[in-house]
């Protein structure tokens, strides 16, 4: 609140700490100039050799609504879309990653009040991905097929910038690999060339503060679990 009154800039650490994946948005629109501002500033992200391998299809207004309608219609034939063009997760997810994935999923469904047995309700929540969780802006992120792991990492850095800059505008986001299963439909609708692969989507808008699912604060492993400090040879 103090920040709003004084229009003080948001510290990076605050943007990082307040960014969470939001899975329920209000219908409040986001102006195109704000999306343009976020995307152009996000493009200051570093990339190996300055390749800038990100490519974004920004969907607003009717264009966003029409995509959501097309997916809803396509679901009658293919309820879960089609196999993505890349492995969203390793085919055999080992520990500790398997447990981490399980725990965040269970924490989310607990907030939604959907038990493990209710597969249909879980699927219906998952399908909300394909409505951008109600967000007024949807980004579809693609990458040239020839790009290698380094360039996928570059796109990740760009996306993190997008999500942090969104916080400066009072907006929230959710990165969405769930869109990878609609690559064919997206290719037709957005005229995405064959040379590009659909990596993910990203929902952008105002968080619905009344939605319990938005209270989820996912766990993180402690520093000692992922960092090795070497001070002596």
User: Is 23 a binder of ligand FMN (CB under 6 A)?
Assistant: yes
CA distance 167 to 57: 20
Decide: helix, strand or coil at residue 65: helix
| Integer Rg of the chain from CA | 18
Q: Are 53 and 147 in contact (CB under 8 A)?
A: yes
Q: Are 60 and 136 in contact (CB under 8 A)?
A: yes
Kindly tell me which of 20 and 55 has the beta carbon lying closer to ligand FMN.
Answer: 20
User: Is 21 a binder of ligand FMN (CB under 6 A)?
Assistant: yes
User: Is 178 a binder of ligand FMN (CB under 6 A)?
Assistant: yes
Kindly tell me which of 3 and 218 has the beta carbon lying closer to ligand FMN.
Answer: 218
Between residue 91 and residue 120, which ones bind ligand FMN under the rule CB under 6 A?
104
Which of these ranges, 49-57, 79-87, 173-181, 185-193, lies near ligand FMN under the rule CB under 6 A? 173-181
Kindly tell me which of 35 and 178 has the beta carbon lying closer to ligand FMN.
Answer: 178
Kindly tell me which of 140 and 178 has the beta carbon lying closer to ligand FMN.
Answer: 178
User: Is 174 a binder of ligand FMN (CB under 6 A)?
Assistant: yes
Between residue 192 and residue 221, which ones bind ligand FMN under the rule CB under 6 A?
200, 218
User: Is 18 a binder of ligand FMN (CB under 6 A)?
Assistant: no
Q: Are 185 and 33 in contact (CB under 8 A)?
A: no
Decide: helix, strand or coil at residue 232: coil
Between residue 122 and residue 141, which ones bind ligand FMN under the rule CB under 6 A?
129
Q: What are phi and psi of 200, to 5 degrees?
A: -160, 180
Q: Where do the DSSP E strands lie in the chain?
A: 55-60, 137-144, 172-176, 196-205
Kindly tell me which of 129 and 142 has the beta carbon lying closer to ligand FMN.
Answer: 129
Binder of ligand FMN out of 35, 56, 139, 175 (CB under 6 A): 175
Nearest CA among 127, 139, 135 for reference residue 181 = 127
CA distance 19 to 10: 12
User: Is 58 a binder of ligand FMN (CB under 6 A)?
Assistant: no
Structure tokens at 173: 């986001």
Binding site for ligand FMN (CB under 6 A): 20-21, 23, 104, 129, 174-178, 200, 218
């Amino acid at each position: 609140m103090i920040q709003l009154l004084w229009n003080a800039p948001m510290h990076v650490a605050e943007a990082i700490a307040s960014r969470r994946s939001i899975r329920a948005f209000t219908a409040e629109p986001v102006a195109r100039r704000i999306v343009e501002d976020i995307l152009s500033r996000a493009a200051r992200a570093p990339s190996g050799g300055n390749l800038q391998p990100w490519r974004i299809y920004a969907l607003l207004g009717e264009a966003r609504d029409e995509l959501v309608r097309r997916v809803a219609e396509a679901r009658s034939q293919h309820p879960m879309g089609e196999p993505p063009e890349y492995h969203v997760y390793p085919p055999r997810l080992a520990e500790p990653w398997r447990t981490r994935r399980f725990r965040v999923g269970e924490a989310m469904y607990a907030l939604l009040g959907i038990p493990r047995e209710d597969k249909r309700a879980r699927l219906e929540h998952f399908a909300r991905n394909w409505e951008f969780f109600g967000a007024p802006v949807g980004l579809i992120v693609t990458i040239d097929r020839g790009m290698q792991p380094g360039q996928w990492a570059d796109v990740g850095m760009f996306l993190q910038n997008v999500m942090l800059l969104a916080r400066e505008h009072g907006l929230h986001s959710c990165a969405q690999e769930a869109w990878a299963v609609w690559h064919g439909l997206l290719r037709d609708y957005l005229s995405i060339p064959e040379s590009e692969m659909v990596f993910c989507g990203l929902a952008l808008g105002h968080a619905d503060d009344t939605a319990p699912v938005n209270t989820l604060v996912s766990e993180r492993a402690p520093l000692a679990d992922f960092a090795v400090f070497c001070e002596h040879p």
